[in-house]
Amino acid sequence: MQKPRLEWLDALRGFTMLMVVTNHTYGFGFATDTKYSMFMSLCLLFRMPLFFFISGFLAYKASFSWNLRDTGQLIAKKLRVQIVPTVVFMTAYIAIAAKHFWPKMEEAWMSPTKGGYWFTLVLLEMFLVYYAVCWVSNRFTKGPRGSVALIILWFLSLFAYATLYMPSWFSWYRNDFWKATSITELARYFHFFLLGNLVHRYWGQVQRLFDSKWFFPLLIAIAYVGAADYLKWHNLRLQWANLPRTLSMYALVMMIVAFFRHYADWFSKDTKVGHALQYIGVRTLDIYLIHYFFIPKLPDVGVWFKAHPQNFILEGSVAIALGLLVVAFSLLTSQVLRVSPFLKKWLFGRE
């Protein structure tokens, strides 16, 4: 029997997608670096980590049989869903936006961020590694012991992530091969995917932790101190400088998950906000692939915000309002394209 969907989790995914579009609207649309915005700098600490956390959470399927046949079918589906739409929309966007198509295409494919279309490809790499580990561990261990391999992989992924911020000790990420394959981005975010997966595996224990009196205040303290040091204080130097940033990222991710779970009634389909966020949440692939086409180009707004810093509420309100418009036009375009069963299957992975 299939478990009922966690509505608040779909809403959380919708919220995260909105934050991604908002960030791109500010950075690309206003033609300014998000480091000049306290609002955007804060969002950067949790938006992509949270997205990968949710992906890892949903990747765990307790009843799945990790035999060769089922695992192969799962991989084949992921390859189709993640690669074909990315290549199509990336090519279409570059054809419209770039002055010189082929040089821009080459530049995009050699870049770890693929002209903005890196997310689906990196997520595919995460799924492939995760499926391989699950398949291998299932052949040797059963039950709770099967999580040991993932816990070990989580620690290894944390180490790979840490090397990205140790330039005097490690330089592997400067190699063109690792950039072109986006392995650098895999190393940057895979530990959040595995964290989400482990949280789902031990969901009962995690929920008791969420409900304890001390856990949420502790998260607030860690997030505040870590974010303040990363954004303002800069007390740590060299290889240690990324530690407070990482701690704040983990704390913020867990805080937001705990918040959406605690107020699950707010995010049910019976509420307008919940219904809207859930609709966005189940169309995240569509929005991600399409939204670049609709980001407004407003460089003068970026100039104004740079000249008038510390407008936290104003920056956030303007960026979110425009982000909602971009999401709306992306969803409308998705609906039009889904009229064709062929496009619905090959562009959005829906039968």
Over the stretch 136-165, which tens digit does the pLDDT of each residue have?
888 776 655 568 889 999 999 999 999 999
What is the spatial distance between Cα 90 and Cα 94, in angstroms, rounded to a whole number?
6
Number of domains comprising the chain: 1
Over the stretch 168-206, which tens digit does the pLDDT of each residue have?
889 999 999 999 999 999 999 999 999 999 999 999 999
Q: Taking a C-beta distance cutoff of 8 angstroms, is the pair 106, 178 a contact?
A: no
Residue 2 within any structural domain of the chain: no
What is the spatial distance between Cα 53 and Cα 279, in angstroms, rounded to a whole number?
19
Over the stretch 18-68, which tens digit does the pLDDT of each residue have?
999 999 999 999 988 777 788 889 999 999 999 999 999 999 988 888 888
The DSSP-derived string for 238-285 is GGGTHHHHHHHHHHHHHHHHHHHHHTGGGGSTTSHHHHHHHHHHTTHH
Please report, in angstroms and rounded to a whole number, the separation of the first and last CA atoms in the chain.
22
Expressed as residue numbers, the domain containing 281 is 7-348
Residue 1 within any structural domain of the chain: no
Check residue 63 and give its pLDDT. Answer: 82
Least confident range from 10-19, 229-238, 314-323: namely: 229-238
Check residue 64 and give its pLDDT. Answer: 85
The pTM for the full model equals 0.95
Residue 94 within any structural domain of the chain: yes
Query: What does the block give as tokens for 92?
Result: 């279409």
The DSSP-derived string for 292-306 is GGG----HHHHHHHH
Residue 140 within any structural domain of the chain: yes
Check residue 1 and give its pLDDT. Answer: 45
